[in-house]
Amino acid sequence: MDVKIEESWKQHLQEEFDKPYFENLVAFVKKEYKQAHVLPPGHLIFHVFNTCPFEKVKVVIIGQDPYPNPGQYYGICFSVPQGVAIPGSLINIFKEIQSDLGKPIPVSGNLDRWVEQGVFSMNSVLTVRAHETGSHRDKGWEIFTDAVIKKLSDERENLVFMLWGSYAKEKKSLIDSQKHLILTAAHPSPRSAESGFFGCKHFSKANTFLKSKGIKKIDW
- pLDDT tens, 31-43? 999 999 999 999 9
pLDDT of amino acid 38: 98
Provide the mean pLDDT of the chain.
97
Name, in order, each residue with C-beta under 8 angstroms of 52's C-beta and a sequence gap of 6 or more.
Answer: 115, 116, 118, 119, 120
Q: What is the pLDDT of residue 18?
A: 98
Over residues 166-177, the mean pLDDT reads 97
Q: What is the pLDDT of residue 93?
A: 98
* Phi, then psi, of 128 in degrees rounded to 5: -160, 145
The structure's pTM equals 0.97
Q: What's the pLDDT at 218?
A: 98
pLDDT of residue 23: 97
Residues 108-130 have pLDDT tens digits of: 999 999 999 999 999 999 999 99
Looking at residue 60, what is its pLDDT?
98
Q: Which residue among the candidates 2, 65, 112, 146 is catalytic per the annotation?
A: 65
Q: Read off the pLDDT of each residue in 5-21 and give the average, rounded to a whole number.
A: 98
pLDDT of residue 171: 98
pLDDT band (50, 70, 90) for residue 185: very high
CA distance readout (Å), 46 to 55, 58, 115, 136, 194: 16, 18, 13, 16, 32
65 is catalytic: yes
Average pLDDT over residues 11-32: 98
Q: What is the pLDDT of residues 200-211, one digit of tens each?
A: 999 999 999 999
Mean pLDDT computed over 167-194? 97
Mean pLDDT value of segment 162-189: 98
| Cross-strand pairs, 129 | 38, 132
Residue 134, classed as helix, strand or coil, is coil
